[in-house]
Structure formats: C-alpha cells, structure tokens
Amino acid sequence: MKRKLIKQGGYGLTFYVPKKWVDAKQLHAGDEIEVTPIEDTLLLSAASIKGQKKMLSLEIKKTRESGVRTLLVNAYRAGFDEIHVTYAGNKEEIEYIVSTFLLGFEILKQENKIYTLKSISEPSTENFEQIFQRQFYIVEEIIKNMHDKKIKELIHKVQVYDHFLKRCIARNISRQTKDFFLWQFLSHLTQIARLSYHCQKQATLSKEMNPLRNTLEQMFALLKTASLKKEYSLLTQLHTLDQEMLDKEKKLLKTKDAIAVHYLLMISRTIYLANSPLTGYLQLLQPSS
C-alpha cells in the first residue's frame, strides 16, 4: 500500500492513514498514535496508546519446573502484558521463573493458586538494537571462556535477553519479513551459548582442542562483525571455515577427547546454520536499489 506525501506548511509532510486500519483500531480525529522509525520502515501503533492490553489465561497442571517455564516464557515472548496463571504446584516455582527469566515482569496478585503476572518495568523497545548487539559480545565471551564454570551466569543473561528481544519482535515488528529471519537467528545464537555450557559441563578441553577452538572463534567473530557492520557478504567466509572444522574432525574424533570434539562441532554447525537467517535479515536491511 502506497501513500503520497502531502506538504503541510513549512517543512511538514503528512499522509493519509488507511481507513480500514483506523476502523479496526477504533481511532478518531484527535486520537494519538505511536510512530516508531525502524531502519527504512515507519511503524504505526495504536495498541499502547489506546490502552489495549494483551491478556492470557493459563491453567497448568503440576509438572516439572521446565514445563511451567516453557509455557510462561513463550507467553512472555508472544508479547502478553498480563498473564493469569492457575497452577497446582509450588508458588516458589512461579516466583523463580518470573524473577529469573521474565525481564520487567512481577507477580502482582496471588490467591488460591491463581497468579497475576504483569509487565512493570520492561526496557524500552528503543533498547532493542543495543541489547541485540550486546548478545554477540556475551556469546563471544562464553566461547572464549568455555572452560570456565562462571559462564553459567552469562548463559542465563543470553537467555533472558533472547526472551526480551523476541518479545519486542512479537509486539512491534512481527509483520515484517525480516523479523522471521531475526527470530530464527536469535534462536541459533542462544543455542550456541547453551551448547558451550554443555561442553564445559561434560567435556575436557585439552590443548589438542585448540585448533578446533581457534576456528570456532573465527567463525563466531565473522557472525558478529557481519551483523555489527551490516555486511552480509562477509558471511561467505563461514563456508570455508566450516569445511576446515570438518577436516579437523576426522583427525580428532578418534582421540580420547571425542566428547569435546563432538560438542565443538555441534557449536560450529550451529554457527554455520545461523549464517543463513542472519544473511536474510541483513539483506532486507539494505536500501532498495
């Protein structure tokens, strides 16, 4: 849908908002809408101005903490402002999940196993790009310090930021094609961090692993540089580095450190897979020719 810009006194320019959208949002003359610039896109939003809150009710049977967490985290990612949870399990589980994984949410009310979770102090969506870039530096630190048990704290930070970034996508930019690429890329980024943690827990990284680790660090550095510079052409080098990893695999899989080799290869494969959605995302950020 195209709209022609109309000169409106001085240097002002205006355009007509689509009537179907106005009617659907029940807007009237004098109402305010929120206008958010995103690269070469102008996002118009009425939901936050009109006070329309997205609410969800969940009834959860007693289960493992991970089962409860999966339901709550995905409701958070989906952009709900208020979540009503009926849960037969322990209150401590709900409290832990909210305080640990749902950035900006709190339990405002609890009565007879029914909990009201609300958004209280989330970061502004204007922080999206800053947090997105921060993810690269955290994951890079995790990869470089894979032997250190302290990376568990960094893994948690990556997960929390991942939930928030996806929440931003769901609430603000979900109808744009590039957001599908971005959501997929964020999932790969988090998986890289998680695999690094499992490698640290279950494998011993001897000096024999250094050639693999060096190539791994180069691969991730390419992801980071391409994203920060918004130059998708840099990602073509990943194909060469991926082959290097596969060649080194043949020599190292028969060593006593086979478990470490297995995890390092899984991480490199995830980095390689992440290159595809990142390429699509960066291509869509380029100005139309």
Contact by Cβ (8 Å): 178, 280: yes
Q: Are residues 114 and 143 in the same domain?
A: no
| Residue 20 domain boundaries | 6-48
Q: Are residues 68 and 38 in the same domain?
A: no
Task: Give the CATH number, domain containing residue 180.
Answer: 1.20.58.220
Burial status of residue 273 (CB atoms within 10 A of its CB: 0-12, 13-18, 19 or more): middle
**pLDDT (tens digit, 9 = 90+) per residue, 227-261?**
999 999 999 999 999 988 888 777 776 667 888 88
Q: State the pLDDT at residue 244.
A: 86
Q: How far is CA 58 from CA 75, 82, 86, 89, in A?
A: 9, 11, 6, 13
Q: Are residues 104 and 159 in the same domain?
A: no
**pLDDT (tens digit, 9 = 90+) per residue, 19-70?**
777 766 667 676 677 776 655 667 676 655 445 678 999 999 888 899 999 9
Number of domains in the chain: 3
Mean pLDDT over 178-189 rounds to 93
Q: Are residues 44 and 64 in the same domain?
A: no
Q: Are residues 199 and 239 in the same domain?
A: yes
Q: Are residues 150 and 272 in the same domain?
A: yes
DSSP 110-147: EETTEEEEEE-SPPPGGGHHHHHHHHHHHHHHHHHTTT
Q: Are residues 152 and 225 in the same domain?
A: yes
Mean pLDDT over 186-206 rounds to 93
In this prediction, residue 128 has a pLDDT band, given cuts at 50, 70 and 90, of confident
Q: State the pLDDT at residue 185.
A: 97
Residue 174 has pLDDT above 50, yes or no: no
Both tokens of 263, joined, read 């995890």
The better pLDDT of the pair 224, 129 is held by 224
DSSP annotation of 89: S
1 lies in some domain: no
Residue 288 has pLDDT above 70, yes or no: no
Q: How far is CA 34 from CA 43, 121, 169, in A?
A: 8, 19, 16
Indicate the angle between helix axes 210-229 and 128-144, nearest 10 degrees: 170
182 lies in some domain: yes
Q: Are residues 83 and 40 in the same domain?
A: no
14 lies in some domain: yes
